[in-house]
Amino acid sequence: MKHFSLDDNLPAKKSFMPGIRRAPHRGFSLSPKDTVLALKNALRYIPQNLQAELAPEFLEELLTTGRIYGYRYRPEGNIKAKPVNEYKGTLEGRALQVMIDNNLDFEVALYPYELVTYGETGQVFQNWMQYQLTRKYLELMKSDQTLVISSGHPVGLFPSSELAPRVISTNGLLIGQWDNPENFRRLAALGVTNYGQMTAGGWMYIGPQGIVHGTFITLLNAGRKYLNIAPDEDLHGVLFVSSGLGGMSGAQAKAIEISGGIGVIAEVDKSRIETRHSQGWVGKVSSDPDQIAGWIDEYRRNKKPVSIAYHGNIVDLLEYLDQKDIAAELISDQTSCHAVYEGGYTPAGLSFEEGRELLARDSEAFRRKVDESLHRHYRALKNLTAKGSFFWDYGNSFMASVFDAGVKEIAANKVDTNDGFIWPSYVEDIMGPICFDQGYGPFRWVCLSGKDEDLRITDRAAMDCIDPQRNANDRDNHHWIASAEENKLVVGTRARILYADETGRVRIALKFNDLVRQGIIGPVMLGRDHHDVSGTDSPYRETANIYDGSNLTADMSVHCFAGNVARGMTLVVLSNGGGVGIGRSSNGGNGIVLDGSARIDEVIKKGLSWDVMGGVARRAWARNENALKTVSEWNEQNREAGHITEPYLPDEQSLNELVTEIYPATRSK
Ligand SMILES: NC(=O)c1ccc[n+]([C@@H]2O[C@H](COP(=O)([O-])OP(=O)(O)OC[C@H]3O[C@@H](n4cnc5c(N)ncnc54)[C@H](O)[C@@H]3O)[C@@H](O)[C@H]2O)c1
């Protein structure tokens, strides 16, 4: 029992390094009774002899930050993922410690002291006591036990079997009636729930690289779809304007350069621009729109790629482009609108610092400013799209936030958001049909040895598994992996992202496991983003291109989670709200530690296949054209192994006629 609790000794008070970003005050509105409850909840981790001393300190944290983080329990200095052999425990226990530490690295995490990895509010754990306790469990876990994590809280280590997952984790799951941001805020302040985003609480974040490949695919295909750019051409001379150089949004600048285009990304927070600039992820920086306009001209003329950070508000940048009649062919937005009133979106007219100050002082006034800014933002986009720009929502709940701010005309039916919006989401037009419906998604791996050489070997091995002649996706993916090293994408652990489909993922994973078996490379952690074929149900994003009405259901993500547990993946996660905010998605992820064993070969073959095809099956049942094709091929190739139900397709015209007959009003229109 003692092994699994925190020490009786009081840890020293910790200092905060200057220059490391801190999370904003999340607001404090608990009643006196709830405040006592929040303290009681946090003190559950604290040995009796320390409680009198820590209670006032926890209260102070709650009042000054809106949460109890238990800063005293944070290890001093930077946390960095070490090579896997330097941790204690079984290989799987050690591998999971690598992943957790990487999510909290100063270089990787957005607010490392508050355990936020990315996406403004995405936490690995709710507090440092959970971090310490989970580390202990992972060090002592045996290979026939399973650790259960509930919103960062280690519920316990339970006997299971070698074939079961080592960790089953959930984040932020709420009962339907209470599943909304208001209730969530109270429960998070009470210390009983966590917003894990996707790979923050899912322990699978690999830095902004994780999203660069998807952003690269999105930009290239946006060019092909909206601007008729030929499949073998890049985006030279095309201007892409967006916002955000944060955890995921930071990928935009890098991705537009790799796609050959010109990118101007607005960012209000100077420190994030500095981070991305020092990492070589953004080329030029200016707060002067005239200077930026000069660069746009120059790079259009010489047809060379460039990425530019505009230090300022996206609304001001868009209004400037509109006033000066500067054509921006492609426009999007990646402010953290999933947490629009919690600091994720800085309203126009306020600097980043002024926004933070107003949020802490008067959250209602901040809310009003956000709404005004969203109105202006919308107006500028309407003007620019009327002049020929193409805008898409980047899955950050931007259009939903504009709607909530009172702009009903952004909804397709002008009344509610059930029929979508006037502009497409990137999943509807691009990621859904081109990737998810065909099983392509953000497969990734981490070389647990921490060696560059292992990453190089796995890059080459993965490239050998992809036939660039097979289809357009594989041609782009082959190009991506061939130039991955020279694009210097690694931040944190030695990791790689590579979009792949079912057969691609299985082939690459088996190859890697064989390399581990032969001792050519050290162990590898395989995983994926939750933003994938089957992992996430979200009508605002991953399932935005599901049109049979089931876009509002969440069965697929739960089936995916349960199926991956059944197939013995090492880590299996299910969370609420990833990407778009609480109540707006159900999302899950996974991880498999490749140890070179025959058991893991089986987990790969059955687990990865299910993890992809469960989602393709649902997409095909919704009559998505590319998914129908993928399922029919799968059924053909897996005659003995299984079968996916395929829909019959009725004649839509005769159905319309049939229904029109009973609706005379419709008939007369
Ligand atoms: N990259 C992707 O493929 C992808 C996919 C789906 C969803 N998203 C969504 O995109 C959003 C951003 O993710 P993130 O991890 O980068 O979050 P983040 O909070 O780390 O970054 C957002 C950035 O936007 C900046 N910002 C806020 N308001 C601004 C404004 N008005 N003008 C200019 N800059 C402003 C913030 O300072 C911050 O740096 C999230 O809602 C996320 O869920 C991204």
Measured in angstroms, how far is the CA atom of residue 103 from the centroid of ligand 1?
18
| Range scoring the smallest mean pLDDT among 229-243, 491-505, 532-546, 653-667 | 653-667
Cβ neighbours of 303 (radius 10 Å): 12
Cβ neighbours of 97 (radius 10 Å): 22
Residue 299 Cβ inside 6 Å of ligand 1? The answer reads: no
Percentage of the chain beyond pLDDT 70 is 99
Q: What is the mean pLDDT of residues 641-664?
A: 94
Q: Closest Cα to residue 204, out of 452, 527, 464, 524?
A: 527
pLDDT, tens digit (0-9, with 9 covering 90-100), for 434-449? 999 999 999 999 999 9
Ligand 1 mutation pick, 249, 341, 351, 358, max ligand atoms within 8 A of CB:
249
Q: What is the mean pLDDT of residues 66-81?
A: 97
What is the torsional sign of CA 605, 611, 612, 614? positive
Secondary structure string (H, E, C) spanning 578-611: CCCCCCCCEEEEEEEEECCCHHHHHHHHHHHHHH
CB 334 within 8 A of CB 394: yes
Tell me which of 3.30.465.10, 3.40.50.10730, 2.102.10.10, 3.30.200.20 is the CATH number of domain 234-424: 3.40.50.10730
pLDDT, tens digit (0-9, with 9 covering 90-100), for 246-285? 988 999 999 999 999 999 999 999 999 998 999 889 999 9
pLDDT at 3 exceeding the cut of 90: no
Residue 338 Cβ inside 6 Å of ligand 1? The answer reads: yes
pLDDT, tens digit (0-9, with 9 covering 90-100), for 563-597? 999 999 999 999 999 989 999 999 999 999 999 99
Give dist(CA 493, CA 35) in Å, integer.
39
Cα 302–Cα 306–Cα 309 angle in degrees, nearest 5: 140
Q: Where are the chain's structural domains?
A: 2-145, 234-424
- Give residue 667's pLDDT band: very low, low, confident or very high (50, 70, 90): low
Kindly report the average pLDDT of the chain as a whole number.
95
pTM above 0.85, yes or no: yes
Q: What is the mean pLDDT of residues 373-386?
A: 98
Give the pLDDT confidence score for residue 367 in this predicted structure: 96
Give dist(CA 25, CA 360) in Å, integer.
6
Secondary structure string (H, E, C) spanning 295-364: HHHHHHHHCCCEEEEEECCHHHHHHHHHHCCCCCCEECCCCCHHHHHHHHCCCCCCCHHHHHHHHHHCHH
Place of tokens 């009198």: 52
Give the pLDDT confidence score for residue 1 in this predicted structure: 47
Residue 24 Cβ inside 6 Å of ligand 1? The answer reads: no
Beta strands in 140-186 (DSSP E): 145-150, 153-159, 167-171
pLDDT at 466 exceeding the cut of 70: yes
Give dist(CA 316, CA 303) in Å, integer.
26
pLDDT at 163 exceeding the cut of 90: yes
pLDDT at 461 exceeding the cut of 90: yes
pLDDT, tens digit (0-9, with 9 covering 90-100), for 205-256? 998 888 888 899 999 999 999 999 998 889 999 999 999 999 889 999 999 9
Give the pLDDT confidence score for residue 419 in this predicted structure: 84
Burial of 661 (0-12, 13-18, 19+ CB in 10 A): exposed
What is the torsional sign of CA 652, 655, 659, 665? positive
pLDDT, tens digit (0-9, with 9 covering 90-100), for 86-144? 999 999 999 999 999 999 999 999 999 999 999 899 999 999 999 999 999 999 999 99
Residue 336 Cβ inside 6 Å of ligand 1? The answer reads: yes
* Element containing residue 495 per DSSP (H, E): strand 495-500
pLDDT, tens digit (0-9, with 9 covering 90-100), for 382-407? 999 999 999 999 989 999 999 999 99
Ligand 1 mutation pick, 220, 334, 371, 425, max ligand atoms within 8 A of CB:
334
- Give residue 146's pLDDT band: very low, low, confident or very high (50, 70, 90): very high
Give dist(CA 510, CA 668) in Å, integer.
61
pLDDT, tens digit (0-9, with 9 covering 90-100), for 12-59? 999 999 999 999 999 899 999 999 999 999 999 999 999 999 999 999
pLDDT at 465 exceeding the cut of 90: yes
- Give residue 463's pLDDT band: very low, low, confident or very high (50, 70, 90): very high
- What single-letter amino acid sits at 269? D
Give dist(CA 27, CA 358) in Å, integer.
11
Measured in angstroms, how far is the CA atom of residue 282 from the centroid of ligand 1?
16
Give the pLDDT confidence score for residue 248 in this predicted structure: 85
Place of tokens 């502009």: 423
Residue 219 Cβ inside 6 Å of ligand 1? The answer reads: no
Give the pLDDT confidence score for residue 395 in this predicted structure: 87
- Give residue 663's pLDDT band: very low, low, confident or very high (50, 70, 90): confident
Give the pLDDT confidence score for residue 487 in this predicted structure: 85
pLDDT at 314 exceeding the cut of 50: yes
